[in-house]
Chain A
Amino acid sequence: AQRVTQPEKLLSVFKGAPVELKCNYSYSGSPELFWYVQYSRQRLQLLLRHISRESIKGFTADLNKGETSFHLKKPFAQEEDSAMYYCALRNFGNEKLTFGTGTRLTIIP
């Protein structure tokens, strides 16, 4: 069964400091990995996906198949980064997203 683990429920980081949100997954096939973000009182929105290999709002994430991880990183945190972050997995050929429990990131001014 596919599973996504986000070990940190809460993470507080000072403004300007680096951010790393951890995500590990278990799946035997070829997964697609995503990071979704939910700002206060807003909907879930896609932040980035591993196949795009892009940087959105300064965030990047690299799929490490050896460690089965897809950690989200940003070198310098900004106050507007405070939000709930969800890592999600989808198997190629399947449709449903399997979510982690989420990490609430708080940026301290």
Chain B
Amino acid sequence: EPEVTQTPSHQVTQMGQEVILRCVPISNHLYFYWYRQILGQKVEFLVSFYNNEISEKSEIFDDQFSVERPDGSNFTLKIRSTKLEDSAMYFCASMAERTQYFGPGTRLTVL
């Protein structure tokens, strides 16, 4: 059964550095999402992406964040200048038939 994949599984970075989190959605899915979960807190929506553009974003998704689908298969989340509070688990999801399928997540640790 096809699954959403994410790389890396764990990313450690210094505050102020740029990070790119990568996701490969399920083939033929057209809607893509990023969520994050700070340790001990709920899973929060960041952004949705459809037809090569952002369709919705949350208040969390400020100018430091961007998303891209550079090659028709990968779906990336970039954080330009990481802050300590960006440390979290980041989940990618893709949707078909109104069901979102999640990747295993990338744990981002900002030092």
Contacts and interface: CB of A to CB of B under 8 A. Distances in A.
B100 A97 contact: yes
A43 B105 contact: yes
Instruction: Give the interface SS of chain B, mostly helix, strand, loop or mixed.
Output: strand
A96 B58 contact: yes
A100 B102 CA distance: 16
B56 interface: yes
A12 B44 CA distance: 26
Contacts of A44: 43, 91, 102
Nearest to B31: A95
A97 B93 CA distance: 11
Chain A interface mostly helix, strand, loop or mixed? Answer: loop
Interface in B75-111: 91, 95, 98-105
A96 B43 CA distance: 11
A36 B93 CA distance: 13
A74 B35 CA distance: 29
A31 interface: no
A96 B56 contact: yes
Most buried by A among B43, B45, B98, B104: B43
Smallest CB-CB A-B distances: 4 pairs: A96-B45, A44-B102, A99-B43, A43-B104
Interface of A: 32, 36, 42-46, 49, 86, 94-102
Given A43-B91, A45-B101, A97-B43, 16 more contacts: A42-B104, A43-B3, A43-B102, A43-B104, A44-B91, A44-B102, A46-B100, A86-B42, A94-B56, A95-B56, A95-B95, A96-B45, A97-B35, A97-B100, A99-B43, A99-B44
